[in-house]
Amino acid sequence: MRNRLISMLAAAMLLTATTITPAEAAFVIGGENGWQLSTDGIVDVFSVYQSTSPAPAGADGSKRFTSFLSGSTDQFQNFGVKVGLLPSLIAFNIKAPTVNGVDSNVRVGIYPSIQNKNQDTRFEVNPNIDFREFYYTAKGTYGELLAGRALNLYQAKNILTDMTLLTAGVVPAPGTSTTLGHIGYGYLYTNFGPQIRYTTPDLNGVKVAFSVNEPYKISSDTAKTNTPRLETEISYATVLNGGTTLQAWASGLFETATRSKAAGVARPGEQNQSIGGAAGIEAGFSGVDLMASGYAGEGLGMISAQDGDAFGSSSTDAAGKERTHFGFLVQATYKLTPDIKIGANYGQNRQVESDDDKTKRGVGGSFSPMKKQEAAVGMVTYNFNKFTQFIVEYAYAQNTWHDRATQHSNSVAIGTMFYW
């Protein structure tokens, strides 16, 4: 389906380091009037084991923000059976008759997790169900218009080119619906969001996209989000002589938001802004695939683009000023045979300590923001057939705070994915 070129699933299959490719449409129902209905999807199941060192405490013994590794003050060990970074998926695609050279399509993507809602009790069996995709596209010689809920542009290709997109990557403590891959450990999660997007036609391998998006809160002190979040992406893809594939991309984000005027809020009524850039390059030749990507900006957060304090690590400091953030991911994969692939990657997300952070470090005994989150992953994948894959993976992750406290995690994932 042509509309799948801009969906997360199709991009994942095209760009990640696997040899499995999904069927274009496993089930197609077409009528004489030109309408068509098709479906595609994924079932993924991973058994995961995680062992994490005790969460460090502040000088006064209080708990500090520990990302998703574990908040336990003791050695933490856990085993679970769950989805990987990408949840399972069932999607429905509706194609309308072509009118005046314009192809119109609708996509509805439903992403459920398989694990129980709460690992502590087997009776909480309702999985998380996420309607990540719900949009329509209209494509013609002028380019393509997308309207609805879809993967955002900023850092989208950073995550789509990560080999752990279709595996597990960093395994967090229980309580999340998916694993992390390299989210927070090489790039920021771009998220799926409501948007209106325009993408140019393919111009000799170059495409430019621009979207107007629903704004996010930049920090917990954000009072007004009355201006849109703007995102853009420029990408290039080609096949060189000898079959070498090459793609490169750059993306950007910009948003402003007004701070609260409530008592005790720093910089009351003033503006915060999130501004970020990201880029990457990937090349494939003779079974080898090499990729490097990175990002930098202000007011971005450490886990998801524009955290807004959602994960305990604010995009802004206590003085209400934006923190500086940057990160990178490097990766190499190699096909041992047409069905067996090995891969390894390493990434970091970093946060610069602001002037206010430095003055408050140690005050009250516990204040210290995160400095660095880093992770390395190694994997082996085996394609049993065109629609079934098996994966074995090991991941090491470490968090480091600006006061040099650390926490690390080791995890092993063994799983399978079925595509249609």
Cα 202 to the chain's mean position, in Å? Answer: 25
pLDDT at 362 over 70: no
Q: Is the pLDDT of residue 9 over 90?
A: no
Q: Which domains does the chain have, with CATH numbers?
A: 27-419 (2.40.160.10)
Residue pair 68/173 in contact by the 8 Å Cβ criterion: yes
H or E element in which residue 111 lies: strand 103-112
pLDDT of residue 364: 57
User: In whole angstroms, what is the distance from residue 147 CA to residue 67 CA?
Assistant: 33
Burial 381-390 (b: 16+ CB within 10 A, else e): bbbeeebebe
3-state secondary structure the chain: CHHHHHCHHHHHHHHCCCCCCCCCCCEEEECCCCCEEEEEEEEEEEEEEEEECCCCECCCCCECCCCCCCCCCCCEEEEEEECCCCCCEEEEEEECCCECCEEEEEEEEEEECCCCCCCCCCCCCCCCEEEEEEEEEEEECCEEEEEEEEECCCCHHHHHCCHHHHCCEECCCECECCCCECECCCECECCEEEEEEEECCCECCEEEEEEEECCCCCCCCEEECCCCEEEEEEEEEEECCCCCEEEEEEEEEEEEEEECCCCCCCCCCCEEEEEEEEEEEEEEECCEEEEEEEEEEECCCCCECCCCCCCCCCCECCCCCECEEEEEEEEEEEECCCCEEEEEEEEEEEECCCHHHHHHCCHHHCCCCEEEEEEEEEEEEEEEECCEEEEEEEEEEEEEECCCCEEEEEEEEEEEEEEC
DSSP state of 40: E
C-beta atoms surrounding 34 within 10 Å: 11
Q: Is the pLDDT of residue 79 over 70?
A: yes
Task: Return the pLDDT at 13.
Answer: 33
Give residue-wise pLDDT tens across range 233-246: 999 999 998 889 99
> What confidence tier does 121 reach under pLDDT thresholds 50, 70, 90?
low
Looking at per-residue pLDDT, the higher value among 88 and 220 belongs to 88
Q: Which residue has the tokens 């450990």?
A: 185
CA gap 173, 73 in Å, rounded: 13
Average confidence (pLDDT) over 77-102: 93
Backbone angles phi, psi at 218, to 5 degrees: -80, -35
Residue 91 has pLDDT above 50, yes or no: yes
Q: Is 79 helix (H, G, I), strand (E, B) or coil?
A: strand
- Rounded Cα distance between 82 and 70, Å, is 17
Residue type, 25: A
What average pLDDT is seen over the chain? Answer: 87
Cβ 87 vs Cβ 171: under 8 Å: no
Q: What tokens does 203 get?
A: 């111009």
| 418: Cβ contacts below 8 Å, ≥ 6 apart | 42, 43, 44, 387, 388, 389
pLDDT recorded at residue 253: 97
For the whole model, what pTM was predicted? Answer: 0.89
Task: Please check whether residue 1 is in contact with residue 41, taking contact to mean a CB–CB distance below 8 angstroms.
Answer: no
Closest CA to 323 of 331, 333, 332, 313: 313
Q: Look up residue 88 and give its DSSP letter.
A: P
In this predicted model, what pLDDT tens digit does every residue of 388-417 receive, in sequence order? 999 999 999 999 998 888 999 999 999 999
Mean pLDDT, range 222-242, rounded to an integer: 93
**pLDDT tens per residue, range 159-205:** 999 999 999 999 998 878 899 999 999 999 999 999 999 999 999 99
